[in-house]
Structure 1
Amino acid sequence: MPRNRRELYNKEICACSIFGAMNRDGERFNAAGVMKAIANMHVRGNGLGGGFAAYGIYPQYRDYYAFHLMFNGKTLQSQISAKAEFEQYLNQRFDVVHDEEIPHRPQTQLRDPPLIWRYFASPKKMGEDASLSDDEYVVRTVMQTNSRAEDAYIFSSGMNMGCFKGVGYPEEIGEYFMLDQLYSAYAWTAHGRFPTNTQAWWGGAHPFSLLDTSVVHNGEISSYGTNRWYLEMYGYACTLQTDTEVIAYAADLLLRRQRIPMEIVAKILAPPIWNAIDTMNEKEKKLFTTLRMVYGPLLMNGPFAIIIGQTGRLIGLTDRIRLRPITAATRGEMFYLSSEEASIRLISPELDSVWTPSGGEPVICELNSRRV
């Protein structure tokens, strides 16, 4: 009698879609092409998360921090109560010059949308906080809010940029927030999610953002526990229940607080293996050995491809053996990063250059004005 074949559960770990587009002259464009490109990778997601980050969208409030908040109470009244409580806290710490509900389509098929509000504000530092930089003051506000406030989460906190995300396919999220109609940006990133280890909820969708740094990610960070414990020593609280959150906070720690160049940050997050280090010349061997020793807990284990957005630049990076795909391309002053070349060619059929970045090697595109 033949044995019955037992079906084993196969976890899907190679999906998720990421996309980025930037005009190096700083010219702003709407989200229509980006939404079309990310929708072309529809099969890489399962409708449990999508989102966008956009840079240069608030020129009239460019000197103020733009806080995007979601209030997640189960009823509208609980959401309103959470909003009122947060505003009392915010007004003690910031001068708010404008606030409003983030515009969205009133009719939607999206599941359980929270109340989403935005505030434009400047720090009002007093007492012991007076010695902090404005950025550090904002980071502490974000961490305190997300770890202590009831049903209130700050998911975007940069200047002249913003994140828009939720539970749904990315094209649905783009349509919900009317990104192709209401906003123009010089750089966009986008994400289509296929959760593997964590629940699907609005705060857990990508991008993950802190100040002007945003991250979209395809893959799995198996070193999440170690990374998280290390970051907690520096005051970062991981509250959004998704492994990608540690990448955003690690980028903030290394790039902003410690002012380490991105080329070196890449070697911290995705360092060469020890066998490769052993074959280097003495100067390189000393550098990479030191990085492994000092920043070992920030090594991102597991397969990943990420796009990091910051004011004036986009950065693409994969794990050191390139287990997740990323393609880079240019056309004139446009620069693209994508999980699939087909999505780039869908909106820009003719390309000047297209290439596959090496594992662990960052691709960095900056505004021409920033490079000057």
Structure 2
Amino acid sequence: MNKFPREKDISGCSIFGLINTDGEKVSGSVITEAISVLHDRANGLGGGFSGYGIYPDYPDDYALHLFFDSVKAKEETEELINKHFLIEYDEKIRTDNSINLPNKPLLWRYFVKNRNILSKDSEREETFKAVMDINNNIEGAYVISSGKNMGVFKGVGYPEDISRFYRLEDYKGYIWTAHGRFPTNTPGWWGGAHPFGLLDWTIVHNG
């Protein structure tokens, strides 16, 4: 007699990670193909990726990726960013808007340096405080990643759709993580998709 029930629960999220120990970079299309094998472990309520080594033109800048619900939130955030940092470059995150995803926020990235010359630990602490200030105090603004030479790309959709939306095939990195959500008691929203990022750290989890 089989001790285990035949029924199975396919929920539990999908996760994939890649590290090239030689430091060689691979295209975001590789991680997309890998996570697509786990399609049935997600339900379209959240997908995302993190890539390291993707910004060789700004390797020493903090790359801030942000979601905005309004132009007002963007303007308020830029005032705060300018208090803490020098903006080396900023732009709208390039996307493929033919991909049909719900409730798309305004997506922007800033490459910044601390205004004052600080020790490495102090620099990280000041950046941490600025990120928390934005996320806690500016309505309609959310920093999804804030590390150097890396970035998080996420949203509501299957991972494959999120990848096509952000055009991940245009990026190359030596570390990638990918995640597909299968929430059972929480809604799908852009900020709630994985990975979660703070400074150079990103996290995905299963269950």
Q: TM-score, normalised by structure 1?
A: 0.52
Larger Rg: 1 or 2? 1
Task: Name the CA distance, whole Å, in 2 between partners of 1:168 and 1:60.
Answer: 30
**Contact preservation (8 Å) 2:10, 2:40:** no
Task: Name the CA distance, whole Å, in 1 between partners of 2:115 and 2:10.
Answer: 44
Query: 1:216 aligned to 196, 199, 204, which one?
Result: 204
Letter in 2 for 1:21: L
Task: Name the CA distance, whole Å, in 2 between partners of 1:171 and 1:56.
Answer: 21
Query: 1:148 aligned to 112, 126, 137, which one?
Result: 137
Matches within 5 A, 1:1-372: 14-72=11-69, 79-125=70-116, 133-180=122-169, 182-219=170-207
**Contact preservation (8 Å) 2:10, 2:41:** no
Larger helix share, 1 or 2:
1
Which stretches in structure 2 are left out of the alignment for 5+ residues?
1-8
Task: Name the CA distance, whole Å, in 2 between partners of 1:19 and 1:195.
Answer: 17
Deviations along 1:103-162, one digit per CA (max 9) or x if unpaired, are: 001222100110010000011249xx9997100111111111111111000010000000
Letter in 2 for 1:114: P
Equivalent position SS for 2:139: coil
Deviations along 1:321-350, one digit per CA (max 9) or x if unpaired, are: xxxxxxxxxxxxxxxxxxxxxxxxxxxxxx
Equivalent position SS for 2:54: coil
Letter in 1 for 2:124: D
Equivalent position SS for 1:86: helix
1:312 corresponding residue in structure 2: none
Letter in 2 for 1:176: F
Larger strand share, 1 or 2:
2
Q: Percent identity at matched positions?
A: 51
Alignment size in residue pairs: 199
Q: TM-score, normalised by structure 2?
A: 0.92
Taking only aligned residues, the RMSD between alpha carbons, in angstroms, comes to 1.8
Task: Name the CA distance, whole Å, in 2 between partners of 1:13 and 1:208.
Answer: 23
Cα shift at 1:199: 2.0
Letter in 1 for 2:12: A
Greater length-normalized contact order (CA 8 Å, ≥ 6 residues apart): 2
Equivalent position SS for 1:61: coil
Quickly say closer, same or farther: Cα 1:183–1:131, change in 2 above 3 A. Answer: closer
Quickly say closer, same or farther: Cα 1:131–1:59, change in 2 above 3 A. Answer: closer
Task: Name the CA distance, whole Å, in 2 between partners of 1:21 and 1:134.
Answer: 28
